[in-house]
Amino acid sequence: MEGKHYINGEWSTAGDGVINVMNPATGEQVGTVPNGGEDEATQAIEAAAAAFPEWSKTTAYHRSELLMKWHDLLMENKQEVAEIMTKEMGKPLAESIGEIEYSAAFISWFAEEGKRVYGRTVPASKEGKRIQVIKQPVGVVVSITPWNFPAAMMARKMAPALAAGCSFVAKPAKLTPLTAVRIYELAEEAGFPKGVINMVTGSASKIGKVFTSHPSVRKLTFTGSTEIGKELMKQSSETMLNLSLELGGHAPIIVLDDANIEEAVKGVVASKFRNAGQTCVCGNRIYVQESIVEEFSRKLQEAASDLKVGNGLDEGVQIGPLVDKDGYEKVAEHVKDAVDKGAKVLVGGDGKAENDSYFYNPTVLLNANSDMLVMNEETFGPVAPIMTFKTDEEAVKLANDTRFGLAAYFFTDSMTRGTYIAENLDYGIVGWNDGLPSAAQAPFGGMKESGIGREGGQEGLEAFLETKYISIQL
Ligand code: ADP
């Protein structure tokens, strides 16, 4: 597949050569995209700026119709788009299909929610005065998205931005741009006017610099690492960009002694092993109450042993490859570090990296402690380290002892203990007996160094709106 930029309603291959897109399950080339830079980013922003005045004045009903056409096209083509995703990023096909459905859910939800951008009137303190508050689209939005959810991270930015009346420029991840290209082809078919949606592929740092310095851009929405998020925040200070940053996480999972252990194991498997552990909301650290650790770890070991590893296009595969060599090496390093510091491997602990394909086996580690890398840094792999705790207070303290604050999970059937834990976790997303809390209609995002702002839900639309206060003296 030969991907192209989409700028001002035209497909283009401009740039400094191409980027080869590789399949991490086979080492084969899936296709190419142009290696764009400053010029393409500038053209895309200028196209978006030129399209904005007219687009922002269309009705929310009109924008909703276009979004729904795009939604329907995505659903009609979900198998094909999902196959592209599995080939370029490795996740099992069933998960890719799930991600397309999840992406489409953002589009339809925001197509509706865009009709409910209400302002308000406020009683004034002087006679003859009227106070109006109105909401308007922020303007040109640029987005930078990662490879682990090539469709959903873009859709959950693009759909609310368009619903709000903003024009949009996307830069998909280098490793997974082809899914985005196909989604843009479908958006073009849906009929968005030229310049309203644009996409450039290529050098992240060059495109990022233009995104954060061009005076026509009003908002940057980014999903990726905390490190790059901080860099973009610094760069954005020059133009005082409105920012939404969805950054790294280090999710704790707490299993209390009154939890339904079978359900907790299912929840942990869903949270930990989805996408081979390559999600920012993946459980990273599992804290299990002492009295049940033996039963829980045995059951988790059995569940992990049953997971089928392989090429995501093959029937029944549940764990695909890691996305690249760096990803594989990081996982192997985390496991080695844990074992060196006293962890016991219950299952896995090894993998196979050959011919540019990178498979790591689902791994469960017992006797983890707070000094291990796995307990402090995002592993981004299928590794489940288990550590024990005694009291609920200790579990919350351990869970909060991190600079991250994206997602946290816990399992208990007690309303009292669960309420205490939910209310004391310093996390933006909390799953209570739920390993998969993400939903289009719910606000997703982190506290602390996990970011700024929320995506999805009402907050996800608000992120693309400015508040204007109009004071009228009659
Ligand atoms: P991940 O570990 O998920 O790849 P990154 O933060 O490295 O997280 O990348 C997320 C996105 O940010 C990708 O699209 C990547 O190309 C982009 N990116 C990386 N470095 C920069 C940069 N200096 N400026 C702008 N974007 C960047």
Buried b (16+ CB within 10 A) or exposed e, 5-31: bbbbeebbbbbeebbebbbbbbeeebb
CA 211 to ligand 1: nearest atom = 25
Query: Residue 9 has which token pair?
Result: 């309603």
Q: Does domain 5-247+450-473 have CATH number 3.40.605.10?
A: yes
Nearest alpha carbon to residue 287 among 451, 436, 425: 425
> What does the alpha-carbon distance between residue 295 and residue 443 come to, in Å, rounded to a whole number?
35
Q: Which residues line ligand 1 (CB under 6 A)?
A: 144-147, 173-174, 204-205, 208, 224-225, 228, 231-232
**Considering the entire predicted model, what is its pTM?**
0.97
Q: Is 468 exposed, middle or buried (0-12, 13-18, 19+ CB in 10 A)?
A: exposed
- Would you state the pLDDT for residue 256? 98
Nearest protein CA to atom 23 of ligand 1, as residue: 205
> What CA–CA distance (Å, rounded) separates 376 from 220?
28
Does the domain made of 251-439 have the CATH classification 3.40.309.10?
yes
- The yes-or-no answer to whether 5-247+450-473 and 251-439 have a common fold is no
* Residues labelled as active-site residues: 246, 280
Q: Which residues of the chain have pLDDT under 70?
A: none
Atom of ligand 1 nearest to the CA of 207: 25
Place of tokens 């450039």: 200
CA of 229 to the centre of ligand 1 (A): 8
CA of 170 to the centre of ligand 1 (A): 13
Give residue for tokens 């009903």: 61
Ligand 1 nearest atom to the CA of residue 148, by list position: 3
Q: What is the pLDDT of residue 166?
A: 99
CA of 228 to the centre of ligand 1 (A): 6
Task: Find out whether 306 and 273 touch, Cβ atoms under 8 Å.
Answer: no
**Nearest one of 406, 401, 409, 408 to 375, comparing CA atoms:** 401
Q: Whose CA is nearest to atom 19 of ligand 1?
A: 204
At 434 the pLDDT is 98
Nearest CA to ligand 1 atom 27: 204
Mutate to test the pocket of ligand 1, among 142, 144, 211, 322 (most ligand atoms within 8 A of CB): 144
Sheet with 383-389: list strands edge to edge: 344-347, 363-366, 383-389, 283-289, 251-255, 407-411, 429-432
Q: What is the number of the ligand 1 atom nearest to the C-alpha of 173?
A: 14
Distance (angstroms) between ligand 1 centre and the Cα of 272 equals 23
Q: In testing the pocket of ligand 1, which one of 21, 176, 199, 228 has its CB within 8 Å of the most ligand atoms?
A: 228
How far, in Å, from the CA of 234 to the mean position of ligand 1?
A: 14
Query: Residue 153 C-alpha to ligand 1 middle, in angstroms?
Result: 13
pLDDT at 89: 97
What's the gap in Å between 23 CA and the centre of ligand 1?
A: 19
Ligand 1 atom nearest 380 alpha carbon: 2
Q: What is the pLDDT of residues 132-184, one digit of tens each?
A: 999 999 999 999 999 999 999 999 999 999 999 999 999 999 999 999 999 99
| Joined tokens for residue 360 | 């790591």
Dihedral sign for Cα 397, 398, 399, 404, please.
Answer: positive
Enumerate the domain spans of the chain: 5-247+450-473, 251-439
Nearest-CA residue for atom 25 of ligand 1: 208
Query: Hey, whose CA ends up nearest to atom 11 of ligand 1?
Result: 146
Q: Measure CA of the first residue to CA of the last residue in the chain; give whole Å.
A: 62
Write the residue with the smallest CA distance to atom 22 of ligand 1: 205
**328-355: buried (b, 16+ CB within 10 Å) or exposed (e) per residue?**
bebbbebbebbeeeebebbbbbebeeee
Q: Relative to the CA of 171, which ligand 1 atom is closest?
A: 14
Please report, for residues 62, 68, 133, 194, the alpha-carbon distance to residue 57 in angstroms, rounded to integers and kept in the order given: 10, 19, 18, 15
Among protein residues, the one whose CA lies closest to atom 18 of ligand 1: 204
